Structure 1
Amino acid sequence: MIDKVAWIHLRDGRVLGTRSAGKDTYYLPGGKREPGETDVETLVREIREELAVDIDAASAKHIGTFEAQAHGHSSGVTVRMTCYTASFTGEPVASAEIEELAWLTTADADRISPVDRIIFAHLHESGLLS
């Protein structure tokens, strides 16, 4: 099980996705926790590293935890994605290993990871994602 935390940043019916250098798949921004980190500590650190913005930890709101086959891993390896919304300061820019940012909708299902497809469906059913 790969344990990850992701930030759901929605705007105008779209969600912010990231693509790492050398990859062709988009992922929700976030990443793996370091030993001893809470979900929110992971969220703040990862988003600062990947997008150069500061998450307001006090505003973080859990919106769901989702599991699926881990993209690019052998069969049976799953990923658990714990997702949060949160306010922030700054303007997201591709940083660290992130090469590109994109505003995605359910029409982008063929460009995202399996767990993100589940998350996108949940956001769409909730009326948050086009």
Structure 2
Amino acid sequence: MIETLVQVKLVVRVPCAIIEHDGKVLAGQRSAELSFPLKWEFPGGKQEENETDEETLVREIREELNIEIQIVQKLPVTSKDQGWREIILVPFVCKMRSQEITLTEHEQIMWLEPDDLQSLDWTEADLGVIQSYYQYLSVKK
């Protein structure tokens, strides 16, 4: 009998928050120690076993920014295949329920007008989220 080793691709589901406040959107710059160092992203993180997308997002935002959020709208999922793993971003438009942000993972945050989002150096997967957000805004108007 011949055995064949098949490499299994890691699939990582990552709910992320497009946090709106006073007409602006929050962007977070990744830590220099993380993958995609110093790239910009929408805050969020890896889903744990038996968590819903929404539970993951609330937990991750609490851990990363020390704030509570209200989820407003789920946007279309985007993905980025990196060969050895696939990142599936699950974006949600959110509002802040608390105001004092404390950074625990990001180098810095920035509040931007929606039209200025593309001025930053985003992770590739987050670029798809920006496009979904622009689509959401165009329908919302």
- Is 1:124 the equivalent of 2:134? yes
Could you tell me which residue of structure 1 aligns to residue 6 of structure 2? none
Compute the RMSD of aligned alpha carbons: 2.3
Scaled by the length of structure 1, the TM-score of the pair is 0.77
Q: Percent identity?
A: 25
Query: Where does 1:1-130 land on structure 2 (aligned, <5 Å)?
Result: 1-11=11-21, 14-22=24-32, 23-56=37-70, 59-69=71-81, 74-75=82-83, 77-91=85-99, 93-104=101-112, 105-108=116-119, 111-127=121-137
1:68–1:115 contact (8 Å) kept in structure 2: yes
Count of residues in Structure 1 that have an aligned counterpart in Structure 2: 121
2:45–2:60 contact (8 Å) kept in structure 1: yes
- Give 1:106 shift: 4.0
Scaled by the length of structure 2, the TM-score of the pair is 0.72
- Give 1:12 shift: 6.3
Deviation digits for residues 49-102 of structure 1, max 9, x if unmatched?
Answer: 11111123xx44212211123xxxx54532110111233321252422122001
Kindly name which structure, 1 or 2, has the bigger radius of gyration based on alpha carbons. 2
Q: 1:94 to 1:18 in 2, by over 3 A?
A: farther
